[in-house]
Amino acid sequence: MTDYTHVAPAFRDVMKMTDLQRIEFLDEPRWVDYRAASKLMDILGGLMRKPERPRMPNLMVVGASNSGKTTVITRFKDIAGESYVSDEGISIRPILCAEVHKPDERELYNAILTQFWAPHNPGAPLAKLRHQAMHLIRDARTRMLIIDEIHTVNNGSNARRMDLMNELKMLANTLRIPLVLVGTRNALSLLTLDPQYASRFEVVSLPNWTANAEFQGFLKSFESALPLKHPSKLYSPELTTLICAISDGITGNIEYLLRECAKEAIQSGSEVIDRRLLEKNQWMRPTGTDGTRVRVL
């Protein structure tokens, strides 16, 4: 019987499953830790522990599209912000995450209210939506507000963008909780609209990978979660360089590439990701200026 020592102990039971079950396993969300993600979660944890004061510190997290920003935020929320019911029967939500898609204050509050599953009229006056959202946030004893896709606010005039940024600033000041904005690097332009914004936000960036020892460590950890019967040694210098080139060093691209290659390795019976398989799947490299991938059938 094979020991499958190249697979992490937590996943070795998966090797007893059928091919189809192993392929389905590959599509399940799975956390693979790495230094930049751990550091970001430490920063978020420190921010969440800050004592209440009139001007709370805020954070903007930026990175390339598909760089893993939302994945890290979700991981942090799962660890530090799980909802629960207090002894008094109150539903507590330590961390509230919402998305915006345009510079519109009403949409902001609708997104927040939707996270609470709160009945509301999306077309209600802004003041009413604001009051309802702030009331729910206070009742839930929320200690951090995270707004994802903040770069989409740039799809509007300077006046509209400033209106939304001022609304967010007011929200953080009134509630006295830290605000975390998450988006692509285009979001940085929002901080230049007013000197006050830049002074209120610390900026952290999730970098792209380069073909170095740290990336090799990440690939070794990632491979240990792949249910393949043979070791691929993705962390070898040759494959590390190739994977980095195909993926542009972007975490989401790397994960997609390796998952798809692993599925093909199971289907073909090779049970290994080698250079030939990686080169065959170079179509997964984003080729268009919009980051699209096109598979030629």
**pTM higher than 0.85, yes or no?**
yes
Q: Residue 172 — very low, low, confident or very high, per pLDDT cuts 50/70/90?
A: very high
Q: What's the number of domains the chain is made of?
A: 2
| Residue 198's CATH number | 3.40.50.300
Q: For residues 87 and 6, what is the distance between their CA atoms, to the nearest angstrom?
A: 45
**pLDDT score of 287:** 45
**Strand, coil or helix: 28:** coil
Residues 62 and 12 reside in one and the same domain: no
64 Rama class: left (phi>0) / alpha (psi -120 to 50) / beta: beta
According to DSSP, residue 185 is labeled G
Residue 118 lies in a domain: yes
Q: What's the domain range around 141?
A: 33-203
Mean local confidence (pLDDT), 51-66: 92
Relative to beta strand 144-148, strand 179-183 is parallel
Do 79 and 219 fall within a single domain?
no
Looking at residue 86, what is its pLDDT? 86
- Please identify, among 203, 234, 263, the residue that sits at the C-terminal boundary of a domain: 203
Has residue 294 been placed in a domain?
no
Mean pLDDT score across all residues of the chain:
93
Q: Return the pLDDT at 130.
A: 97
Does residue 163 sit within a domain?
yes
Using CA atoms, how far apart are residues 137 and 44, in angstroms rounded to an integer? 19
Considering the domain architecture, whether residues 244 and 259 belong to the same structural domain is answered as yes
Is the pLDDT at 290 greater than 70, yes or no? no
